[in-house]
Structure 1
Amino acid sequence: MTDIEYQDRAEALLRAVELACDRINDDTDADIDNQRVGGMITLTFANRSQIVVNLQKPLHEVWMAARAGGFHYRFDGSVWMDTKGQGEFFAHLSRCASEQSGQPLSFSS
């Protein structure tokens, strides 16, 4: 993948996270505060726990830090997959956000 392809796909992922937060806030009482600064989004939940998603441009990866740990994702040609076999990014973000918010939340591309 070229740097430009990575940037396009990674920016699309960040936009999808932002849009999902807006949808979740409209449809539920989860009250996720999402702040984006450059290539990083911080999701803060009502209980003050956080999930941080940030771009790692030199590695062509997306990293996520949550209570469950830190995770690295690479684009496999169709989806962002964890480099250690923990699954697809949006499914994993949904699980982590659900755990941290105490209610079922769904993120998707």
Structure 2
Amino acid sequence: MALVESLPPRPLSAKELLDLNRSEVFELASPIEEEGDASAVILATGSWVKGVVFDDDGDGWTVVETVSLAERERIDGLRACEDAILAFRGESPDAADGDTVSGDADASVE
């Protein structure tokens, strides 16, 4: 099952994000939004970081960026995914208030 197909057909609740963080599948599931349901999330494993966005007007969840951690640091992958999410939404990465994602550990998916 593909990553986006495993997500519900709507933004994620705080409980669902907490469940993703507690799962053995992801090391990190961090929303871009600070309040309400999450329609933009950064997911990370030991081998990659992905930025996913829920688009009400489109096909639901879309992967907007995938960064392999084979040759990049996790923080660089997190930043690249956050920038890609903001660009997808038509927002400027410079307008972001900085550290919206954090975390570090090891696991693997796919």
Q: Which has the higher contact order (CA 8 A, sep 6+)?
A: 2
Answer 1 or 2: which has greater helix percent: 1
TM-score (norm 2): 0.36
TM-score (norm 1): 0.36
